Structure 1
Amino acid sequence: MKAGQKAGYPRFKGGDRFDTVEWPKDGDGCRWNSQPEHPTATYVRLQGIGHVRVVQHRPVQGTVKTISVKREGRRWYVVLSCDDVPERPLPATGRQVGVDLGVARFATTSDGEIVGNPRADFHHKTARALIASCDVIAVEKLNVAGMTRSAAGTVDAPGVNVAAKSGLNRSILDAGWARFVNILTGKAEEAGRRIVFVNPARTSIDCHRCGTRCTRPRQDTVICPACGPIDADTNGARNIATRAGLGSGQAAA
């Protein structure tokens, strides 16, 4: 309450509110048991529960460091974070793109590829597809914590457009930009690909063709006084590619 917000009653948190638990160290409350004779069928030992059988979608490589158990619908998943994972370089593709992360669309690349936003846990598949098809990927260095800071303000200086800002914050957090970038970076390191982080300032609002400041009458469109209407996400992705030194990132007209 130091910032002057109004205090409220504690909210009841039911058992179904929590769907993830993480153990920060293998062997401390949780143990991953590898069985070489059964590479796709093994067990995880959870303190207070015992051994739970796990079906692996691929063999574990490296040294298991942290273990998470996650619930999605009626299914449970074990997520392992590993150190010392050997690199598995992919062949060069000749493709270099800038990627603009958004709310209405999850991602748009500088060469025109659009990835929808189904509000689901599809980060791994999207990251894997980008890593498989691109040698270099440029993304904005986003401060998600700052972007989703509350607009409520204080009693003496209340915020403005609080409801709209709250809705935008939920959309940003729901899209999971920070988590996606972490996953993308990890997969790039394993595959020998390169991730370039660029300054996010005005990437969507400056015209990628002439650099003129645009207006943004709608979330999906910017209007350049010289070049006319442009898709806002594509404009942002091409500016990101340019700032990373990847050229304009434009698809052939």
Structure 2
Amino acid sequence: MGVRRSYKYLLRPTSKQATALAQCLEDHRQLYNAALEHRRTAYAQAGASIRYGEQSADLKHIRGDDPGGQGRWSFSSQQATLRRLDKAFRAFFDRVKAGRTPGFPRFKGRGWFDTVEWPKDGDGCRWDSQPGHSAATYVRLQGVGHVRVHQHRAVKGQVKTIAVRHLANPRHLAATAERLATALRDLSRKKRGSKRRRKAVARVAALHGRVRRQRLDHAHNAALALVRDYDLIVHEDLPITNMTRSASGTIEAPGRNVAAKAGLNRSILDAGWGVFLTILAHKAESAGRELIAVNPAGTSRTCARCGHCAKENRVTQAEFACTACGHAAHADVNAAVNILRAGLALRRASEAA
């Protein structure tokens, strides 16, 4: 019996491909919700239970009626989405039989459906789709094209299933910024000590509380995913307090680029790095995982291939190109390799001591 392994790689889509991937995700989400509505309506109106086989058979007509939408994606990937719904219903009925809280399958809102799966390599997708094209690895996805893959380690065996997951910084504060600004302007107009001002204060506090809860929820979910998948986790020991220090300076020596620095500070705080690292440390300890913090100095400027360190290596925020050996990579990936090596070196030194 063979061993099934799971590999995770970072995709490098072009802007056009990123747009196509986002639309692919949205169309699969709508297919999931439409199939769920079909099951609910059939049972409510006729007491009929709709199965996966019936909904899979309907796909041909759905694709034919919408060739520029659902029809452009892989038939097999759409079947995988329908199987995902069928699995949710089977789990629901199992909970009912066991006398547990049922938890009826829910419609998936934006942000709650983040994965599209292609169940068989060669059917709507192709791993290493352009092997003679260059040294890079590509995966071909129907309706998207040949997407570049950062393959940091080789695949052992034959690729069976491909899944693409969409991850993004949720930017909770930015999403609530307009409502918060309105609430703050309303607060500024209220007379101190008045009942209306107390209500306005409560509205502002409620919005800040919502952002905090969203940030905590995201941090808990991300940290839990890491400790479930990895025995060793290495991260930069970031001086967040120093990184978010104001650039305004003093009256005698005013700072430069104050507005830009203020915007950067908001982005850093909105990402919640400090909260996330604290939660990650607690979860790693509880799960018996090893967490190592390394000095971030030079990690973004050092070449992961030859070790040459120079600020000129960092071409842009996203691009890294070594001026010594010519090694090119995404800047974050290059830095991640350096961070991991530094963490492993610290572990070896600790074990030797």
TM-score, normalised via structure 1 length: 0.51
Decide whether aligned partners of structure 1 residues 234 and 246 sit closer, same or farther in structure 2, where only a CA change above 3 A counts. farther
In structure 2, the partner of 1:116 is: 168
Preserved CA contact (<8 Å) 2:305 2:327: no
Decide whether aligned partners of structure 1 residues 227 and 163 sit closer, same or farther in structure 2, where only a CA change above 3 A counts. same
Q: Does residue 153 of structure 1 match 2:254? A: no
In structure 2, the partner of 1:233 is: 332
Partners of 1:123 and 1:111 lie apart in 2 by 26
| Percentage of pairs with the same residue | 47
In structure 1, the partner of 2:22 is: none
Give 1:229 shift. 2.7
Structure 1 residue ranges (4+ consecutive) displaced by more than 6 angstroms after TM superposition: none
The structure, 1 or 2, with the larger RCO (C-alpha pairs under 8 Å, 6+ apart) is 1
Unaligned runs of 5+ in 2: 1-149, 154-164, 173-214, 347-353
In structure 1, the partner of 2:60 is: none
1:182 to 267, 278, 281: 278
Matching residue's letter, 1:227: G
Partners of 1:185 and 1:110 lie apart in 2 by 28
Give 1:160 shift. 1.2
2:305 to 198, 209, 223: 209
2:224 to 109, 121, 128: 128
User: Which of 1 and 2 has greater Rg?
Assistant: 2
Give a deviation string over 1:153-208, Cα, whole Å, max 9, x none: 00111111112111111111110101100000000011000100100101111111
User: Greater helix percent: which structure?
Assistant: 2
Q: Does residue 218 of structure 1 match 2:300? A: no
User: Greater strand percent: which structure?
Assistant: 1
Partners of 1:160 and 1:116 lie apart in 2 by 30
Give 1:240 shift. 0.5
Partners of 2:240 and 2:313 lie apart in 1 by 24
Give 1:220 shift. 1.1
SS in 2 for 1:197: strand
Give a deviation string over 1:30-77, Cα, whole Å, max 9, x none: xxxxxxxxxxxxxxxxxxxxxxxxxxxxxxxxxxxxxxxxxxxxxxxx
Partners of 1:218 and 1:169 lie apart in 2 by 20
Q: Aligned-residue CA RMSD in angstroms?
A: 2.5
In structure 1, the partner of 2:212 is: none
Give a deviation string over 1:3-48, Cα, whole Å, max 9, x none: xxxxxxxxxxxxxxxxxxxxxxxxxxxxxxxxxxxxxxxxxxxxxx
Decide whether aligned partners of structure 1 residues 246 and 131 sit closer, same or farther in structure 2, where only a CA change above 3 A counts. farther
Decide whether aligned partners of structure 1 residues 168 and 114 sit closer, same or farther in structure 2, where only a CA change above 3 A counts. farther
Decide whether aligned partners of structure 1 residues 216 and 145 sit closer, same or farther in structure 2, where only a CA change above 3 A counts. same
Unaligned runs of 5+ in 1: 1-108, 248-253
Partners of 1:137 and 1:232 lie apart in 2 by 19
Q: Does residue 171 of structure 1 match 2:267? A: yes
TM-score, normalised via structure 2 length: 0.37
Matching residue's letter, 1:119: R
SS in 1 for 2:296: coil
Matching residue's letter, 1:241: L
